[in-house]
Amino acid sequence: MLKAKTKNEFKDYLLAQGLKSTSQRELILEEFLRAGSHLSTEELYLRLRKKQPRIGYATVHRTLKLFSECGIAERRHFGDGQARYEACARDEHHDHLICVDCGKIVEFEDPRIEKLQDEVACSNGFAIERHRLELYGHCQDCRSK
Amino acid sequence: MLKAKTKNEFKDYLLAQGLKSTSQRELILEEFLRAGSHLSTEELYLRLRKKQPRIGYATVHRTLKLFSECGIAERRHFGDGQARYEACARDEHHDHLICVDCGKIVEFEDPRIEKLQDEVACSNGFAIERHRLELYGHCQDCRSK
DNA sequence: GCTCCGTTGAAAATGAATTTCAATTTAATC
DNA sequence: GATTAAATTGAAATTCATTTTCAACGGAGC
Ligand SMILES: [Mn+2]
Ligand SMILES: [Mn+2]
Ligand SMILES: [Zn+2]
Ligand SMILES: [Zn+2]
């Protein structure tokens, strides 16, 4: 099971860093994996409070940061002023289509675009480390309304 | 002259909106056009203070917002936590290469990438309104150091 | 000059992200 | 199981860019 694997990954990371496994961290990872992707800290925090009203925002924030550091999550910004986190399958990459009406986020991957990006970077003397491609527009549903 | 044209454009916009032409607004536009692109509010503000120490940060901020509204400037975010503005030639578009070492920003345009973006969006039922493509890496200069 | 109303700049407010710190919990050691 | 050192927690404070407030000011038409 994928969740179990990720949970072990996290525990291993904590151990390796001399950090501790806590009930909060377990709970946050559990809920992070259960919830859909692209959640903000606030959104995850609110979901968690329903299960554990005493959880602190700072703890959620710090734990998401831990997830990023150990490769479980990736931090994104889609221009609405707050960071969003998504679970990331290792060694995979995708870009995003974002509906400016309803906020829907669709993921895509296009090797042709990636290749052209490398080409452009190369011809400008750059060695690419990462990139960011976001397409903003109106989704099918919103257009047919 | 391009600057003169932009200045007139701005005056026309102000007039059309029932806004006023002021010495501050003229000064800010002058300096914005003189300075290189991709400046943050803070950077422009500091430059302006050397010429007019009484200028207010809020005025610079509001005026940059006006520039955006009337199509003279475009607001960008390159992930360093502050917005940057660049003068935009009307109906032109470009994307960015950003050096993560020295902060250098190189502009590029690739119709092939743009075309593929449309294709991807289309096949996902999206009508694209705008997009954002940023390539982060190490520039030639920084690599040879 | 007079008046209306938009503008200005200092200061305050906002909001997401991050840090502080005393109390608490974990996990290693006895 | 008790002891202890060190990490963690959560509330509150802080940070930092951005945005707003508001009283004084200034531009434009009369
Ligand atoms: Mn995604
Ligand atoms: Mn540019
Ligand atoms: Zn939609
Ligand atoms: Zn460089």
Are the Cβ atoms of A120 and B137 closer than 8 angstroms? no
Dist. CA A136–CA A99, nearest whole Å: 6
CA distance B7 to B9: 5
pLDDT band for A89, please (50, 70, 90 cuts).
Answer: confident
Interface test with A, best of B112, B113, B145 (most A CBs within 10 A): B113
CATH 1.10.10.10 in chain B, residues? 2-87
Question: Given this model, what pLDDT does residue B3 score?
Answer: 86
Q: What is the pLDDT of residues A47-85, one digit of tens each?
A: 999 999 999 999 999 999 999 999 999 999 999 999 999
Q: Write the class of the CATH domain A2-87.
A: mainly alpha
Among all ligands shown, which has an atom nearest to the Cα of B138? Answer: 4
A79 vs A132: CA distance, rounded Å: 12
**Residue B84, CB, less than 7 Å from strand C?**
no
User: Does any CB of chain B come closer than 8 Å to the CB of residue A15?
Assistant: no
For B95-143, give the CATH class.
Answer: alpha beta
User: Buried (b) or exposed (e) across B5-37, using 16+ Cβ within 10 A?
Assistant: ebbeebeebbeeeeeeeeebbebbbebbbeeeb
CB contact under 8 A, A120 and B100: no
> pLDDT tens for residues B106-137?
999 999 999 999 999 999 999 999 999 999 99
Q: Protein footprint on strand C: which nucleotides are under 7 Å from a CB?
A: 6-11, 15-20, 25-27
**Residue closest to D28 C1′ by Cα:** B20
Q: In the complex, which nucleotide's C1' lies nearest to the CA atom of residue A19?
A: D7
Task: Give the DSSP per-residue string, A116-138.
Answer: HHHHHHHHTT-EEEEEEEEEEEE
Query: pLDDT tens, B9-58?
Result: 999 999 999 999 999 999 999 999 999 889 999 999 999 999 999 999 99
Q: Do B110 and A116 touch (CB under 8 A)?
A: yes
Query: B84 CA, C14 C1': separation in Å?
Result: 20
Nearest to B132 among A100, A128, A132 (CB): A132
Which residues does A76 contact at the CB level (< 8 Å), separation at least 6? A38, A83, A84, A85, A86, A96
Res A145: pLDDT: 85
Q: Is B138 on the interface with A (CB under 8 A)?
A: yes
| H helix count then E strand count, chain A | 6, 6
Give residue A116's identity as a one-letter amino acid code: L
B138 touches strand D (CB under 7 A): no
pLDDT recorded at residue B2: 80
pLDDT of residue B62: 98
Residue pairs between chains A and B whose CB atoms are closer than 8 Å: 103
Residues of chain A with CATH 3.30.1490.190: 95-143
Q: Using an 8 Å Cβ cutoff, are A103 and A66 in contact?
A: no
Geometric angle at alpha carbon A47, from A132 and A134, rounded to 5°: 15
